[in-house]
Structure 1
Amino acid sequence: MGPFDWLPRAPLESVQLDWLNGVELAVLRLDRIDPLISGNKWFKLTEHLALAQQAGASGIISLGGAYSNHLHALAAAGKRFGFPTVGLLRGHPQDTPTVLDLKAFGMQLHWLGYGGYRARHAADFWTPWRERYPGFYPVPEGGGGMAGALGCAVLVEQARQQLSDVGWADYDAWWLAAGTGTTLAGLALAEACARPVYGALAVPDDHGVAQNVQALVTGGYALLDASRGGFAKVDPLLLEFIETTEQACGVPLEPLYTGKALLALKQQIEAGRFAPGTRLIFVHTGGLQGRRGLAV
């Protein structure tokens, strides 16, 4: 497999919104790195792919749902860089726009049902799949773990190199959506407590994000609830906020991660958490391909 030396740079862009109340906001546009291998998913994959290459793997096998941004990026990377991919999917067969892409990219799909997918953390889960696909390297759901976090750590330096593009000499903190906490952990590792990293939780507390992050980094971050009742829960206020924000600044959002995270930031600014003059970097984690299955 490999080589995987592609490391695109996400542009840093200043954003003006009337609710910022003097807070300065710049968006690290991971959604703009590539039309198909988009968002934070590629950065979460880079170290996993390096480990697979070192192990002499012949392909990659991973897990996700029928709208998975992770599987979408993995399958697109497999097609582009010429390595086979296998996706283990939650639920029962359905042809969502994402699934149709996975098939077009050449990913071999297996549907686990819901009970079978819940067993993914069992100690012997990978045994039959290793036997069926010998030589394939298993990547955790969402590209998580320390390898995924280390892949995301490079984003800190990417942003720092572009501060002058938005007229900044420095910045005060990070803000991003947290689905597994892997990207947040990577930023916190790179910052080493120099600046706080705020994670707006796109999932409820029982999804284990806090535990995931605690296993990777000891401090320098905070998690705030932004799930609005649960993962993939979409409400009229959120949809209205996304529509008005896109019209105001031209940055496309989706309702599962980036929309919820930016709305949570608005609410925190209105509550007085950040004083005027604070400079925040908002990480746009991508995920726009998933909008195709939602009424947005």
Structure 2
Amino acid sequence: MDKQFFIPDKVTLTLLSLPVFDRANISLAVLRLDKTDQLISGNKWFKLHYHLVQANLQQSNGLLSVGGAHSNHLHALAAAGEKLGLPTVALIRGQPIETPTVIDLQKLGMHLHWLSYGEFRRRYQAEFWQEWAERYPDFYLVPEGGGGILGAKGCRVIPELIKQQLFTIGWDDFDYIYTGVGTGSTLAGIVWGLGGNHQVVGCLAVPERYGVDVQIKELLDEIPVSFTNYQLKPAARKGFGQADPDLLYFINDVEAVAGLLLDPVYTGKTLYFLQQQVINGEIAEGSRIVLLHTGGLQGRRVLLNRWE
């Protein structure tokens, strides 16, 4: 299981040269988590790892989880299930719709249930999961986004992947890690892995009212050591999964200048927010920053196509 579902050797750390950062004498590198696998991309490899290990230990009959019609998590879970030979089931928010992601899910053999928005909101209630557990007995219930303490545990190795490759870009250390934040488990895992060293900046892809700050604190409370070396920044702009012309122009500019493909839901918004901080003089000259490219390219397949 470990060998099959944990392949950090594919993750590379590369320098990213962008005019705004160069003029400010701020060094920027990108940890390319998006390179892990074409289907199980980005931080999803890490977040799913221990969930899949647990499903294997429990000899589960399949995997069941929730998400939206453009969900990176469901896309990765469907691919993982196919690799493992496990049936997969998705509970998807909204009316049936054909998106590139949904088409992939069906090709990967995932069984889809479409839930009304009211029904989908019940996912925070124990009764909701009990009902589906009875419908799919002995299926492993994967938390939304692959989160929870097991999702965070899988992301604990990410700081080490950075440290192991610093010499390849001529660095001996760094000041900040920037990452997009949805459920908060990736950030919690990174903070856990750093052990109190360095600062982690989480750029929220969801509105602050979603209470991700509380979720992160609850996750970190499950770890026997207290860490406070992180901060959350509002970067959702129009809202989760929403893009605006300024953001989309920026993403296209980065691709043109640096050849780096970004998504408009997580990493694109994170880098846009970071660049605005640089423009506003909020980042000290000489800083070394590592940006996590968390994959998330399912959103790009729809939002950029609509814009173009």
TM class by shorter chain equals over 0.9
Q: Structure 1: how far apart are the matches of 2:194 and 2:30?
A: 18
- C-alpha deviation, 1:246, in angstroms: 1.1
Identify the residue that residue 264 of structure 1 maps to in structure 2: 273
Match of 1:169 among 169, 172, 189: 172
Matched, 1:228 2:237: yes
- One-letter amino acid of the counterpart of residue 257, structure 2: A
Root-mean-square deviation (CA), in Å?
A: 1.3
Change (3 A) 1:17 1:95: same
Tell me the number of residue pairs that the alignment of Structure 1 and Structure 2 aligns.
295
Q: Structure 2: how far apart are the matches of 1:168 and 1:152?
A: 22
Matched, 1:23 2:26: yes
- C-alpha deviation, 1:132, in angstroms: 1.2
Matched, 1:87 2:90: yes
Give secondary structure in 2 for the equivalent of 1:233. coil
**Counterpart mapping for 1:1-296 below 5 A:** 5-9=4-8, 10-20=11-21, 21-217=24-220, 218-296=227-305
Q: Structure 2: how far apart are the matches of 1:62 and 1:169?
A: 41
Q: Structure 2: how far apart are the matches of 1:3 and 1:177?
A: 26
Contact 1:39 1:286 in 2 (8 A): yes
Q: Structure 2: how far apart are the matches of 1:4 and 1:84?
A: 21
TM-score where L is the length of structure 2 = 0.93
Unaligned runs of 5+ in 2: 221-226
- C-alpha deviation, 1:260, in angstroms: 0.7
Runs of 4+ in 1 over 3 A off after TM superposition: 2-5
Q: Structure 1: how far apart are the matches of 2:151 and 2:265?
A: 20
Q: Structure 2: how far apart are the matches of 1:44 and 1:68?
A: 14
Contact 2:17 2:258 in 1 (8 A): yes
Contact 2:13 2:32 in 1 (8 A): yes
Q: Structure 2: how far apart are the matches of 1:3 and 1:242?
A: 34
Contact 2:14 2:31 in 1 (8 A): yes
- C-alpha deviation, 1:77, in angstroms: 1.0
Q: Deviations over 1:152-206 (max 9, x none)?
A: 1111111111111111111111001111111111100111221110001111011
Q: Deviations over 1:234-274 (max 9, x none)?
A: 11111111111111111101111111100100011122222
Q: Deviations over 1:11-63 (max 9, x none)?
A: 11111111111111110011111111101111100011112222221211000
Q: Structure 1: how far apart are the matches of 2:31 and 2:187?
A: 14
* Identical counterparts, % of pairs: 50
TM-score where L is the length of structure 1 = 0.96
Contact 1:92 1:113 in 2 (8 A): yes
Identify the residue that residue 224 of structure 2 maps to in structure 1: none
Unaligned runs of 5+ in 1: none
